[in-house]
Each structure stands twice: as C-alpha cells, then as structure tokens.
Amino acid sequence: MDEDKKNLCGSKSRDNFKRWHKTLHRSWYGLDVDFIIINKIKILAMIDYKKPNSTTITWAEQIAYDDLMLHGYEVFIAIGKNPKTLMVYKYLGEGKVGDTGMPFIEWESKLREDNKLV
C-alpha cells in the first residue's frame, strides 16, 4: 500500500480508526466501502469511488466485491474527479468492471425506479 493511500484524509475519526487497525496485525486485512445505497427495506447497491487515474481493483477489493456479489449485492464503481461528473460502472466479478458507464444521477434514479417499493 502506498503512503498516499495510508494518509488519506476524510473524517478524522474514520482515518484514525483505519490507521490504528493497520497497526494491529500484519495479516488482519480490511477495506472501507465508500457508499451503500438503500431504500427503506434493503441494500440496493454498494459503490466504491475511484479517481480517474486510479481505477485498478486491488486484491482486497476483489475479495470483498466478489463476496458481496455471492450474497446477492450489486457492486458498482464510480469514477470521476467531480461528484457532478461521476460515471458509474457495474462490477462484473473477478476483478472486472463493465466498460459502459452511466452518469451518477441517471444511474441512481434508474436504480431506485427499478427497486421501487410497491
């Protein structure tokens, strides 16, 4: 893991927890999930954010994403520099990401319409 990734700043308490966890044991792995979209009764999708120049799926992400899919959850990768220009791509499994993206707001609107509570 590179130094930039170790020193990411966001929520100070979250970052402190993540840094602390890295000191516990060399083989105790973990990763954070960027965002989970829900409706009033279930999880609709898990989203992981990637910068445009950093779109590689790590081995830890692949383990987590594949396991989430095995349990019926959809996983998506959001790529972009600006929240207003994010593109969302479906994670296909085994470290592969679909090549057709959709603008975030359009994607979330469709996701919610497809999962509308009756």
Span 16-49, pLDDT tens digits: 888 888 889 888 888 888 899 999 999 999 999 9
* Section 66-89 average pLDDT: 94
Give pLDDT tens digits for 3-15. Answer: 655 555 568 888 8
Name the residue with higher pLDDT: 54 or 102: 102
Kindly report the pTM of this predicted structure: 0.82
Strand bridging mode 102-103 / 35-38: unpaired
Which long-range contacts does 21-27 make (Cβ < 8 Å, 24+ apart)?
none
Q: What are the b/e assignments for 7-45, b being 16+ CB within 10 Å?
A: eeeeeeeeeeebeeeeeeeeeeeeeeeeeebeeeeeebb
3-state secondary structure of 25: coil
The two three-digit tokens of residue 62, written as one number? 């692949």
The domains found in the chain, sorted by start residue, are 1-30 (no CATH), 31-114 (3.40.1350)
